[in-house]
Every structure is written in structure tokens, then in C-alpha cells.
Amino acid sequence: MGGGYVPPSTFILCRITSALVLFTVYHYLFVKEKIQPDDKKPMIWLAFFGVAANQLLFFMGLALTTPIHAALIMTITPISVVIVESVLRESPLTFNKVFGVLIAFTGAIFIILSGSDISFDGQTMLGDFFVFANAVFYSIYLVKVKPLVRKYHPITINRVTFLYGFFMVLPFGFPNITGIQWGAFDTRIWLSFLYVLIFTTFFAYYLNSWAMLIVKPSVVGVYIYLQPLLTIIIAIIIGTDKPDINIILAGLLIFTGVFLTSYTKNIKKDT
């Protein structure tokens, strides 16, 4: 987006279209499951909160703000999930859950702020708001998709929600698609483009849906805090960063928080 190759809304249309094709082919070959008429309306809402509005808001926000701002604001997602779960009475608040989220939040913030200059001002305010709204919408999606995951195969849910999401995003993304200079894409841009389409869209939604069969939305949400830590680890492995005591301590906080949030679920299951 920063290089002017693909506008944000058109990028989202490409993501949703490619994922829809992959989910549809997978569903046709291996699942072949139909949804009940009463579940179509909930899936339309899932498509809005978890596919169309979620992705549009994040990429439009990312185009208007800085990556460090987006990373900071996205850390509210697990906290938002816990709040939404409680408000919708999907899951009660527990000490382990709240304490675990706060510990992981502290570790993630520590990594993100390390060596970074943060300045929230009018130039990034609209983008910051879009990213914030995206985090809240995705939290609602994580909570509301749980009941449907118990009834349908994850591929079925994703195929239907991405189908609805496609038509929601089409008016925003299609007008600019003819202006893309596909011939200007070099190998690096094509690999980056395809990576987002396949791995961070198709596989990310597929694996998230499977995870919802096993754990609560709050546990799925709190794993977002592993992203900045994994980024640092990968950077160390490929030699673009070096380990230090601050990163190690932040990593311990994140893993402790994830463990406490997950452990809440295990206790409840055993009893």
C-alpha cells in the first residue's frame, strides 16, 4: 500500500475474493455441508464484523496511521473480547482471565514501545480510530462465531461469511481495480501479495475457526499478544535484531498471560 501498488479497499477485495475461492473449492471437495435458513442472518453479521468492516477498517486505518500506532491499538483486542464476552453473557469474568490479559498486555506494550517514538496527533487520528474500530469489530466476531462453530464445519462458516463479505466489499474495492499496474509488480511484491492472500487470510481464518472449537474467544484473542514477540524472535533468527534482557522479560510476561487466560478454560472444563 505504501508503494502505491494496491489501494487499501482493492487489496481487501483481492483478499476476500481469493479466500472465497479457496474456501469454496475446499468445501465442494471435502465438506459439502448446508447451513440452516435460521443461521443465514447471524452469518451476515459475522461477515460484516469479521470479514468486510474488520478488514476494510484495518487497512484503511493502516494507510492513514503508522504501523507502530496500529500495533499499539490492536493490543486492545483481547481486552475487548473479554468485555464483549461479559456484556453478551457468553462467558463470565474470572480473576485468571482478567489478570492474564493484563499481564500479556503489559508485555506486548513493552515490546512495541521499546525504542519507538509515539505521537498521537491530528495527522493519524482518523487512521487510529479506524484501527480501534477494527479491533472492537473483530472482538464481536470472535464472540459471536463461537455458537456457529459448534454447529458447522469451520470451512462452511468461512465460505458463507466470505461470500457475504465479498458483496459488502465489492462497491469499495472494485472501482480502483482497473487502475492497478500489475505489470509493475516485481517478484518481491508478488510474493508479498500472495503471502497476504493465502497465509494471512485463508489459513488465518481457517485456523482461527478450528481454534474456536477448542478454546474460548478470550483465549483466541489473547494470542494476538504473541505477534510482537514472534516478530522479535524471527528478527533475531534472521539477524536483523539482537536479544536483550528487556525482550526476554517482556516475552515471559506475554507467555505468563497467555497461560493464565488458557488455564481458566482448563479449570472450568475439569469441573
pTM for the full model?
A: 0.78
Q: How far is CA 265 from the centre of its chain?
A: 21
Judged against a pLDDT cut of 70, whether residue 257 lies above it is answered with yes
Q: For 67-119, how does the pLDDT look when each residue is reduced to its tens digit (9 = 90+)?
A: 766 776 777 777 777 777 777 766 666 777 778 778 877 776 776 666 555 56
Spatial separation of the C-alpha atoms in residues 16 and 170, rounded to whole Å:
10
Give the separation between CA 126 and CA 64, rounded to whole angstroms. Answer: 7
With a cut of 90, say whether residue 127 has pLDDT above it.
no
Mean pLDDT of 239-247: 67
Higher pLDDT pick, 247 / 206: 206
139 contacts 84 by C-beta, under 8 angstroms: yes
The pLDDT assigned to 266 comes to 44
For residues 132 and 76, the answer to whether their CB atoms sit within 8 Å is: yes
pLDDT tens digit string along 190-216?
Answer: 999 999 999 999 999 999 888 877 877
Handedness of CA 103, 109, 111, 115 (dihedral sign): negative
Helices 8-26, 154-173: crossing angle, 10 deg rounding: 150
| pLDDT above 50 for 62 | yes
Indicate the range of 40-49, 134-143, 156-165 predicted with least confidence.
Answer: 134-143
Q: Out of 31-45, 125-139, 181-195, 222-236, which region has the weakest mean confidence (pLDDT)? A: 222-236
Provide, rounded to the nearest whole percent, the portion of the chain with pLDDT above 90.
33
- Average of pLDDT values for 153-166? 95
pLDDT band with cut points at 50, 70 and 90 for residue 41: very high
Query: What's the CA gap between 269 and 180, in Å, rounded?
Result: 51
Q: Where are the domains of the chain?
A: 8-94+118-213
Residues 217-246: what's their mean pLDDT?
A: 69
